Amino acid sequence: MELTSIVVYVDDGAVPAALEFYERALGLTRRFYDPDYQFGELTGCGASTLAVAAHVTGERLMPVGYERPNLGTRVSNIEVAFTTDDVRGAFTRAVAAGAKVLAEPYVLPWGQEVAYVRAPDGTLLGLCAPLPAPESGSGESTPAPPVF
């Protein structure tokens, strides 16, 4: 089995703004957008695509069981992570495009730099450096942000 697409569901009517955010924040390229179906797809994230659909589209696709989320102030139960050689640059670009800061860039104990933001549509985005080779970890890390 191969992961080919991740679909982010957003408020009805918000698909164009979400597509624009992902283009500006992450440098993705719009492959197509169907305004009647409220569905669009972005490329530029490796072998997978990132799709954006309205909740009404989710209700159409899954007439039994689709539930609109209520995120409130909690982090969602899924993270969409992107690998980059420039975590700080990606973080700065995402925040400038309208993302909310969840964790500024820091280094994990195994040497990987990461940062976390929330897209305007509520999606949790991880911005991650490639994992270092097991023997190349410096052992130096910066503390993770405090949990509130």
Residue 29 neighbours by CB under 8 Å, 6+ apart = 23, 42, 43, 44
The reported pTM is 0.84
What percent of the chain lies above the pLDDT cut of 90?
76
pLDDT at 74 over 80: no
3-class secondary-structure state, position 55: helix
Reported as a single tens digit per residue, the pLDDT across 43-72 is 999 999 999 999 999 999 999 989 888 766
pLDDT at 106 over 90: yes
Same fold, 1-68 and 75-148: no
Residue 54 neighbours by CB under 8 Å, 6+ apart = 9, 10, 11, 12, 13, 14, 15, 38, 39
Question: Tokens 């408020």 correspond to what residue?
Answer: 11
Domain boundaries, the chain: 1-68, 75-148
From the options 3.40.50.2300, 3.40.640.10, 3.10.180.10, 3.30.70.260, give the CATH code of 75-148: 3.10.180.10
Asked if 5 and 41 touch (Cβ cutoff 8 Å), the reply is yes
From the options 2.70.98.50, 3.40.640.10, 3.30.720.120, 3.40.50.300, give the CATH code of 1-68: 3.30.720.120
Q: What letter would DSSP give residue 99?
A: P
Reported as a single tens digit per residue, the pLDDT across 17-35 is 999 999 999 999 999 999 9
pLDDT at 88 over 90: yes
